[in-house]
Structure 1
């Protein structure tokens, strides 16, 4: 049982580390306008039927909008992790990545005012509409929006929890190895076993909280993040499955360690 607990803890450590550094927690498609056709771009593009340059103005050129015509859009693949969000480059081969932390929406108050501005613009189109961020509203004590504080803070809390989760897994794994290979007496083995179980349980709880917080942040970012990033459809990826697989192995290791501890105590008595 001690060897089984060590193996499960090692699997949890490998899974959690892999999930932490990869960018496939969530993946899907984004609906984006097709680029203009050019010398290097011949497919999946819009041909305006003329040879005008980008700087020329022509009233015959159609200005496509986001609300009309599915044939004017394409769906590009994207995948997102804790650190980066990578998207298919529709203008060239490969991918382009940007920090997921920068995509996290601002504070709840800012998001609320942003939605209120959008609803007012819908009722009265003559109002000025701010497409990405609401204006800075001044109050008696200063600016109402000092910066990104809502989902941004939760995301950093999730990152810290993930790091602590991995560190506690390392501590639990080290204690299990000491108990398995270097335990000189039954009492010392029981102490190491007990501490290993405690650290493993704590790491599992932290991991569960960290995974749930990241999921919440991603769902909020899908609704309130930058408009050029918001997914058309998405699902959880293999990094997300690895993260929860790590949590499962971690809790299984803790249960196995506690079981071994209880059995040893009963036999010792």
Structure 2
């Protein structure tokens, strides 16, 4: 139970949200979402490029005036890496390792620029929602630490933070998938000098999805905390509304009220008294009781005149 209570604690949700925000900032600011190699012909030899180059007639230090290389020997495979903002490629015109970077927006075809701008806007909204959620969770922790009696405001902050976290995670997931689609179209219909020979996902791509996982985990944990502590109270809260242990409808509660132990309940009403039994109904053929005389006096009263 201690582990479950720790997993449902607001401090863990705040740590997860803050970690998701930091990982998202790192991944979005990086240009290592995709990495790979290009296949380009060897550049001409020059004073800055003397290795793995095509000899140029007239150069004093050229070992040969003609290149006999065929097949893949005539090409070099410089590395590149691309992100949401920039694309960097290895400079093939110098022997020393050097990179030249350019904007990814300049490589995107005109038909995909609108989708790319929408992707950038959704990524920024993702960062804003995570920041708002982190601030709300921090306020909740501050209230629980300094003002424990204001638990209702803490629950409301918890609910708003959960909504912002889950909504931000969904927006970030859609933005990541949109960028993947734009990159696929760019390498297919982009400029000729950006045609990757082979490519794959780099570390920033996995960091972005790790941030999304932490974000959704924090959102679910925050919703669970709000549900457990506010929407679904425990037995101690239910006892106020249902004081009977075995509840039936209509409730059969004890005579002594638990809310007012010093006030005795009214006495139960006395059972009704049974009325006297009614005399049986008289028949029309039966004479009245006044005319039913004893046989001793019948001769005296009714003697013939």
1:74 aligns with 2:39: no
Question: Which residues of 2 match residues 1-269 of structure 1 at below 5 A?
Answer: 1-48=9-56, 50-51=57-58, 69-92=71-94, 93=96, 94-105=98-109, 148=110, 150-183=111-144, 184=147, 185-265=150-230, 266-267=232-233, 269=237
8 A contact 2:42–2:75 mirrored in 1: yes
Counterpart of 1:17 in 2: which secondary structure?
A: helix
2:250 corresponds to: none
Deviations for 1:164-218, whole angstroms, at most 9, x for unmatched residues?
A: 0000000001001111112441211111010000000110011001000000000
Q: TM-score of the superposition, structure 2-length normalised?
A: 0.67
Distance, in Å, in 2 between the alignment partners of 1:246 and 1:98 is 27
8 A contact 2:133–2:164 mirrored in 1: yes
Distance, in Å, in 2 between the alignment partners of 1:41 and 1:13 is 44
RMSD: 1.9
1:242 is displaced (CA, Å) by 1.1
1:52 is displaced (CA, Å) by 7.0
Distance, in Å, in 1 between the alignment partners of 2:142 and 2:180 is 39
Counterpart of 1:250 in 2: which secondary structure?
A: helix
Runs of 5+ unmatched residues, structure 2: 1-8, 238-305
Aligned length: 215
Counterpart of 1:228 in 2: which secondary structure?
A: coil
Runs of 5+ unmatched residues, structure 1: 54-59, 106-147
8 A contact 2:55–2:66 mirrored in 1: no
Distance, in Å, in 2 between the alignment partners of 1:227 and 1:91 is 18
Q: TM-score of the superposition, structure 1-length normalised?
A: 0.76
The structure showing larger relative contact order (alpha-carbon pairs under 8 Å, at least 6 residues apart) is: 1
